């Protein structure tokens, strides 16, 4: 998040550099059940981001010290592939991936009925294959679809979406340039049916009015993405009537 | 859809989706009540039976219940018990007192080692998900031959059929012994041809068990069965 310099991020006609309106999302495509070896999986293509999530479990939590007697623990591992950006990323865990893994796990714990599986662990692997800003949101969305695909009981799906501010204007769904040179970024995890917020982070500065507008954009986008998530899950089992 | 669908519209729901108002109905598995609305917690088909609304999950992990007949694999051996992989989140425990043999303390390995497969029954499951198995009972034994294939938990009823009709068809067509464990493991024992065909039938259940076309696809497969005409 630069927030300074003279980088032009909005065109004179009011549109953004990639031709989107300020409240327009990048195209989103979701597919469930992409990994046959996993108990549940999903791939989310959000603009140029590609996130794959795999869910394994519930399984016995090891080592025993991580077990909780009254609930399951959700073990999230978020990782960006070395080839996901133009500059090669050094493989392995780093501070950023550790932080995103932690906030994603906490967000998912608020929707998964973890009390149904005491002493167990649900392993969620999120791999970012291509990155263009907003990977934590794409990863969270993919994880939610993969959990539903795995049959893990949840009280709602969870949608990752972000808004931000560029050149003093609140915009929905920042792309790479807007993320790097914009003034604020507000990724949130929204429960689309209840309207609750499972996680919220903010980078940069927003006034209360700008924040409210950004959240309005986020909720609107979350509703759209939620429809795509539901469609992806239903498509996987189309033709079924049990 | 299973029997007893009365009233509720049959539809595919995803977690968080409202199924309908509570309105005096009971909330069954795969759903919760929130603000007087029944909410689905799993991806599956809605079902209403005896005034209870529930969701038949499309995919789910095996959660052992007392009385389940399962195909378990020995995972660990101790002096006086075996830890069994039951295809669920937790290992099951088979104490030597519930084995079908007279086992001396320290001699458990002489009867079963790691990787051995048994037909067992779930004796007890407590609230912390500790699972105790038993091999004392008619037909419960070590499975020394045959092959094991997996099938999704939610397709077991489909594979078994009404009153075990479908599995009996498979047994006749494959001319093999077939036992379907509640834990999603199917034991098949027969000649090579019959076993191969039975594996195809289970794979079909795995791929199309949730589809309305399953019955037709199975009938088509029966045309290539080693023992035609029984089906």
Give the integer Cα–Cα distance in Å for B18 and A182: 39
The domains of chain B are located at 12-57, 69-143, 147-222
| Minimal-distance CA residue of chain B relative to A232 | B14
Q: Please name the fold of domain B69-143.
A: OB fold (Dihydrolipoamide Acetyltransferase, E2P) (2.40.50)
Indicate the CATH number of B147-222 among 3.30.420.40, 3.30.1370.10, 3.40.640.10, 3.40.50.920. 3.30.1370.10
Indicate the angle between helix axes A208-236 and A135-149, nearest 10 degrees. 40
B151: its two tokens:
């099938």
ipTM score for this prediction: 0.89
Is the CB of B210 less than 8 angstroms away from the CB of A59? Answer: no
Torsions phi, psi of A45, nearest 5?
A: -110, 115
Structural domains in chain A?
A: 28-236 (3.30.230.70)
Mutate to test the interface with B, among A151, A196, A233 (most CBs of B within 10 A): A151
* Window from A3-12, A139-148, B9-18, B152-161 with minimum mean pLDDT: A3-12
| Residues of chain B contacting A, Cβ within 8 Å | 1-2, 10, 12, 14-18, 30, 32, 34, 39, 41-45, 56-61, 89-91, 127-129, 154, 158, 210-213
- Test B39 with A120 for CB contact under 8 angstroms: no
Q: What pLDDT is recorded for position B225?
A: 80
Mean pLDDT of the B224-229 span = 68
A53 with A142: CB under 8 angstroms? yes
Average pLDDT over residues A12-20: 91
Asked if the domains B12-57 and B69-143 are classified in one and the same CATH topology, the answer is yes
- Across the interface, which of B32, B61, B127 has its CB nearest the CB of A155? B32
pLDDT for position A169: 94
Rounded Cα distance between B47 and A194, Å, is 23
Residue B7 pLDDT level (bands cut at 50, 70, 90): very low
Residue B6: per-residue pLDDT: 45
| Nearest-Cα residue of chain B relative to residue A240 | B211
d(CA B147, CA B178): 10
pLDDT tens track for A156-211: 999 999 999 999 999 999 999 999 999 999 999 999 999 999 999 999 999 999 99
CATH number of B12-57: 2.40.50.100
């Amino acid at each position: 998040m630069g927030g300074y310099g003279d980088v032009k991020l909005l065109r004179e006609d009011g549109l953004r550099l990639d031709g989107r309106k300020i409240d327009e999302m990048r195209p989103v495509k979701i597919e469930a059940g992409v990994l046959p070896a996993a108990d549940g999986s999903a791939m989310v293509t959000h603009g140029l981001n590609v996130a794959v999530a795999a869910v394994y479990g519930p399984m016995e939590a090891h080592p025993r010290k991580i077990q909780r007697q009254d609930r399951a623990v959700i073990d999230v591992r978020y990782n960006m592939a070395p080839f996901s950006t133009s500059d090669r990323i050094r493989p392995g865990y780093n501070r950023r991936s550790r932080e995103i893994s932690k906030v994603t796990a906490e967000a998912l714990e608020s929707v998964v009925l973890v009390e149904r599986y005491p002493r167990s662990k649900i392993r969620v692997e999120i791999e970012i294959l291509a990155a263009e800003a907003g990977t934590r949101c794409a990863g969270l969305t993919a994880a939610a679809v993969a959990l539903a695909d795995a049959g893990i009981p949840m009280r709602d799906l969870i949608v990752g979406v972000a808004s931000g501010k560029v050149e003093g204007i609140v915009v929905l769904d920042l792309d790479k340039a807007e993320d790097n040179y914009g003034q604020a970024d507000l990724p949130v995890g929204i429960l689309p049916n209840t309207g609750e917020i499972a996680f919220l982070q903010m980078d940069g500065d927003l006034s209360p009015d700008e924040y409210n507008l950004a959240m309005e954009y986020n909720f609107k986008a979350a509703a759209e993405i939620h429809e795509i998530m539901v469609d992806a899950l239903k498509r996987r089992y189309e033709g079924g009537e049990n | 859809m299973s029997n007893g669908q009365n009233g509720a519209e049959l539809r595919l729901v995803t977690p968080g989706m409202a199924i309908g108002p509570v309105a005096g109905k009971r909330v069954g598995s795969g759903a919760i009540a929130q603000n007087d609305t029944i909410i689905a917690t799993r991806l599956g088909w809605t079902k209403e039976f005896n005034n209870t609304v529930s969701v038949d999950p499309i995919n789910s992990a095996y959660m052992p219940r007392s009385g389940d007949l399962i195909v378990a694999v020995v995972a660990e051996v101790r002096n006086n018990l075996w830890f069994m992989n039951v295809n669920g989140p937790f290992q099951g425990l088979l104490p030597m007192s519930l084995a079908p043999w007279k086992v001396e303390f320290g001699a458990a390995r002489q009867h079963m080692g790691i990787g051995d497969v048994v037909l067992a029954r779930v004796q007890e499951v407590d609230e912390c998900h500790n699972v105790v198995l038993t091999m004392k009972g008619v037909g419960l034994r070590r499975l020394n031959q045959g092959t094991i294939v997996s099938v999704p938990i939610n397709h077991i009823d489909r594979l078994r059929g009404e009153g075990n009709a479908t599995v009996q068809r498979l047994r006749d067509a494959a001319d093999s012994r077939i036992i379907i464990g509640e834990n999603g493991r199917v034991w098949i024992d027969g000649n090579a041809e019959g076993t191969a065909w039975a594996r195809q039938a289970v794979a079909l259940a795995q791929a199309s068990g949730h589809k309305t076309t399953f019955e037709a696809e199975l009938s088509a497969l029966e045309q290539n069965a080693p023992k035609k005409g029984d089906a």
